[in-house]
Amino acid sequence: MADLSTSIAVIETDAGTLKLKFWPEIAPKTVENFTKLAGEGFYDGTAFHRIVKGFMIQGGDPLSKEDHPNVGTGGPGYKIKAEFNDRPHVKGVISMARSQHPDSAGSQFFICLAEANFLDGQYTAFGELIEGDDVLDAIGNAPTLMSDSGEKSKPETRMGVKSVKIESADA
């Protein structure tokens, strides 16, 4: 296994490439889980299925590989324990999505489009964007429709994730 403190995630999307560095010192199990899933190809072919302008983009749901009616509820078949920390949710921070229960994250994650300090200490922040700010903005500004839950967050056009690869930051 690569040294997670020097590893980065390279997320190839339909809009371009996002590169994120991890924070294994504050969220070791979360970083380990994300990198394991990425290494297995779990995220390849998924999409950013939820986009809330000025807030965040959400992905990592295996049900988003197709236009499944329950997109937003999928996961890897297990949950991981929350690793809440003091890192602020600001633009470019990647954090784990979850349901009401604190220990309900699995594979879904979100990347903040702006400061979201109301999430601090309640969601597991585990890294930050180091390259691809323009790509983040492009996805975050994609036109959206009403979702089944009544939130204006469903992308009009699929915002696909071609692949998520873990690489050494030195490479």
Domain that holds residue 163: 7-168
The DSSP bridge partners found for residue 77 are: none
pLDDT the model gives residue 171: 62
Q: Classify residue 159: in a domain, yes or no.
A: yes
- Give the CATH number, domain containing residue 113: 2.40.100.10
Cα of 93 vs its chain's centroid, Å: 9
Q: What is the mean pLDDT of residues 15-39?
A: 97
Residue 1: which pLDDT band, with cuts at 50, 70 and 90?
very low
Q: Classify residue 151: in a domain, yes or no.
A: yes
Residue 136: which pLDDT band, with cuts at 50, 70 and 90?
very high
Q: What is the mean pLDDT of residues 26-41?
A: 97
Q: Classify residue 1: in a domain, yes or no.
A: no
Q: What is the mean pLDDT of residues 9-38?
A: 97
Q: Classify residue 13: in a domain, yes or no.
A: yes
Q: Classify residue 41: in a domain, yes or no.
A: yes
Q: Classify residue 70: in a domain, yes or no.
A: yes
Report how far apart, in Å, the C-alpha atoms of 132 and of each of 18, 111, 139 are: 5, 12, 11
pTM of the model: 0.96
Report how far apart, in Å, the C-alpha atoms of 4 and of each of 28, 81, 89, 123 are: 9, 19, 21, 20
| Beta carbons within 10 angstroms of residue 127's beta carbon | 26
Task: State the total domains in the chain.
Answer: 1
For 69-125, write each residue's pLDDT tens digit: 889 999 999 999 999 999 999 999 999 999 999 999 999 999 999 999 999 999 999
Q: Residue 76: exposed, middle, or buried by beta-carbon count in 10 A (0-12, 13-18, 19+)?
A: middle
Q: Classify residue 2: in a domain, yes or no.
A: no
